[in-house]
Amino acid sequence: MFTMDVAKVRELMEESNRLQMELSDLEMQVNEKESVMSSLNADLGELRMKIKEKSMTLKGCQERLANMDDKKIREQIEEKRRD
């Protein structure tokens, strides 16, 4: 009976070691994925800032263009009135 207990303990120890190695491997994978996610989140934040800057620049450009068109239209109306 004592031999059976030793064999059982050895079997449990081997399983425990195997599970510990699997757990360590999974923890490493999680750390790697979290690192990648952190980097991607930083990249996303940077891209969002660029989008915001470009949107503001575009809006300003469109406003200036609209003002120029309005000015040209007004000038053309004034020229026609003079004629």
Render pLDDT for 20-52 as a digit per residue (tens, 0 to 9).
Answer: 999 999 999 999 999 999 999 999 999 999 999
pLDDT at 1 over 70: no
Unique residue bearing structure tokens 């450009």: 61
pTM for the complete prediction?
Answer: 0.59
Q: What is the mean pLDDT of residues 6-25?
A: 96
Annotate 8-37 with DSSP letters as a single string: HHHHHHHHHHHHHHHHHHHHHHHHHHHHHH
Helix H or strand E encompassing 83: none
